Structure 1
Amino acid sequence: MQWLYKLEKKFGKYAIPNLMLYILSLQAIVFLAVNLLGPGILSALVFDRDLILSGQVWRLITFIFVPDDFNPLWFILMLFIYYSISNQIERIIGSFNFNVFYFSSIIATIAVCFIFDIRLLSLAYYINLSLFIAFATLMPDATFYLYFFIPFKAKYLLVFYFVILGMQMLTGGLPTIALICSSLLGYFIFFAYPALKHQKLRRKGLAGQKQFRAAKRELDAEKRAPIKVAFHKCHVCGKTELDDPDMEFRYCSKCNGNYEYCMDHLRNHEHVK
């Protein structure tokens, strides 16, 4: 996309390499703090529109550092998975594009939470979920292991997550729809929109190919058609056996030369002297 290329050319030097490493490290710090100091610390980090407007602006970003789950085993597993897939995505689309991918979803989520006054403990859940969806889109044949021993491909994970999100949007109301869509903004920019654009161009290309093949068939048919040559031609009207296969032609014995006439003009013409 041209506008992304221009942005990268102008602001690419400000991109944060390994962005998810820093975010996940801060999530690990929050996880340890909650386990050591108690869950009360989360009240100072979660998104709260009223408190933000009263001056606690750090909540605009600290909600990203609240882990999705506080079960130690699950948290460690998710840290590993998030880092692995985000690293793969960043290697494919580049650090700047990954920054745009992640921060655009954060900004859109903040806007939606302000509009609908959404207050959830883990607002980053849907944003992090977009990482799974992006990874499954980029590498659909990659294999995950459910419960460490049941293999399944990423493309099935993609379908599963879209089904879950669709059900949540149908049952959750407008705020839920807006929250999910905002969290997937980065995915829409880098994957959904290019895919739709590619499909549109592909349809145009297929239509052009169809027209080309039809024109080629017509041209080939013309080339294969036999060339017909007339052997008889009326000296008066120019009619040949190609014009009228049933017409007979005769030479006039009274004309000076070999002049051939159709039956309509054999006896009705001016003799050539």
Structure 2
Amino acid sequence: MKFLNKMERKFGRYAIRNLTWYIIVTYIIGFSLELLAPQILGYITLEPALIMRGQIWRLVSWVLVPPTDLGFFTIVMLFLYFSLGSELEHAWGAFRYNLYIFMGVFTSVIGAFILYFSGINILGYTFSTFYLNMSIFLAYAATYPNERLYVYFLIPIKIKWLGIIDAVFLLYAMVQGGWATRVVVLASLANFVLFFLMTRNMRRVSPREIRRKQNFQRQVRSNVPSAGVTKHKCAICGRTELDGEHLEFRFCSKCDGNYEYCQDHLFTHEHVHK
């Protein structure tokens, strides 16, 4: 957390404001290429083999690859992700939102190269911004779990439940798919795990902090009186706090020693002098 704060103070001024808008623009460009010049998409996909041959623009250009086919549902999703992304940037700040998005892009590239060096052949369209979109949705669900989203514009449901459904869908895809699918999902969503680990106070789960809490709880338990054991007792009448909730006890400052008296004998007893 401190490291992230230092990074924000040092590099925060370089953050791209309204980053979600630029993400939507990349989608528009990608869909336009798909409709007007689909052959160009073959030159911008994320393919490590071609990158190793000098086509380094593919390290970045793959974000233009459309995540799905263009349709009414896709347009609705774009409006939704624009709203969610803007809310996250407002809540986290531009720097942290930038870090989250670009971390997802970076880990996706790392995942592609892992598959390449593992000898697993992947299609050029394997990596797109589909899972990056899902990471935005999961981040919003983790940040605002009790916000309501209207499914089909009619059914209100807390967004945390939709996030859980998405997580189950991703686990199912990993179990049913091959190693390529697993690497793609893990690489694309690694930003979600890494970012929330970076923004949590990990000191709370350190062995030293856990040991300190255990010692404190042990001391608290040792100071709690068990049944029948009293903490106060009048030196004259022997009454304790168990004899009545209205009783009050005080120590006498004029007596030599630790003598405690109830409210009835505090001012009437004879002082003890040794």
Please give the TM-score of this superposition, normalised by the length of structure 1: 0.73
Indicate the RMSD between aligned Cα atoms, in angstroms: 3.0
Q: 1:13 is matched with which residue?
A: 13
Unaligned runs of 5+ in 1: 230-273
Q: Which moved more, 1:174-183 or 1:105-114?
A: 174-183
Q: What one-letter code is carried by the residue in structure 1 that aligns with 2:27?
A: Q
Deviation per residue, 1:2-36 (Å, 9 max, x gap)? 11112112211111111121121121022123223
Paired residues, what number? 229
1:80 Cα offset (Å): 0.6
Judged with a 3 Å threshold, the aligned counterparts in structure 2 of structure 1 residues 155 and 204 are, in CA distance, closer, same or farther, namely farther
1:125 partnered with 2:124: no
Deviation per residue, 1:55-75 (Å, 9 max, x gap)? 221111111122222223123
Instruction: Return the alpha-carbon distance in structure 2 between the equivalents of residues 200 and 225 of structure 1.
Output: 43
Structure showing greater radius of gyration is: 1
Q: 1:200 is matched with which residue?
A: 205
- Contact 1:68–1:124 under 8 Å retained in 2: yes
Judged with a 3 Å threshold, the aligned counterparts in structure 2 of structure 1 residues 46 and 217 are, in CA distance, closer, same or farther, namely same
Judged with a 3 Å threshold, the aligned counterparts in structure 2 of structure 1 residues 99 and 156 are, in CA distance, closer, same or farther, namely same
- Contact 2:148–2:159 under 8 Å retained in 1: yes
Judged with a 3 Å threshold, the aligned counterparts in structure 2 of structure 1 residues 84 and 114 are, in CA distance, closer, same or farther, namely same
Q: Identity rate of aligned residues, in percent?
A: 30
Q: 1:251 is matched with which residue?
A: none
2:179 maps to which of 174, 182, 189:
174
Unaligned runs of 5+ in 2: 117-121, 238-274
1:185 Cα offset (Å): 2.3
Q: 1:223 is matched with which residue?
A: 231
Instruction: Return the alpha-carbon distance in structure 1 between the equivalents of residues 188 and 201 of structure 2.
Output: 19
1:190 Cα offset (Å): 2.8
1:214 partnered with 2:221: yes
Instruction: Return the alpha-carbon distance in structure 1 between the equivalents of residues 133 and 204 of structure 2.
Output: 27
1:186 maps to which of 191, 194, 197:
191
Judged with a 3 Å threshold, the aligned counterparts in structure 2 of structure 1 residues 74 and 224 are, in CA distance, closer, same or farther, namely same
Runs of 4+ in 1 over 6 A off after TM superposition: 201-206
Which runs of structure 2 are paired with 1:28-177 in the superposition (5 Å)?
28-37=28-37, 39-117=38-116, 118-121=122-125, 122-177=127-182
* Local SS of the residue matching 1:223: coil
Instruction: Return the alpha-carbon distance in structure 1 between the equivalents of residues 113 and 21 of structure 2.
Output: 28
1:161 Cα offset (Å): 0.9
1:208 Cα offset (Å): 6.0
Q: What one-letter code is carried by the residue in structure 2 that aligns with 1:85?
A: L
Q: Which moved more, 1:174-183 or 1:197-206?
A: 197-206
Instruction: Return the alpha-carbon distance in structure 2 between the equivalents of residues 195 and 157 of structure 1.
Output: 23
Q: What one-letter code is carried by the residue in structure 2 that aligns with 1:180?
A: V
Q: Which moved more, 1:184-193 or 1:18-27?
A: 184-193
Q: 1:240 is matched with which residue?
A: none
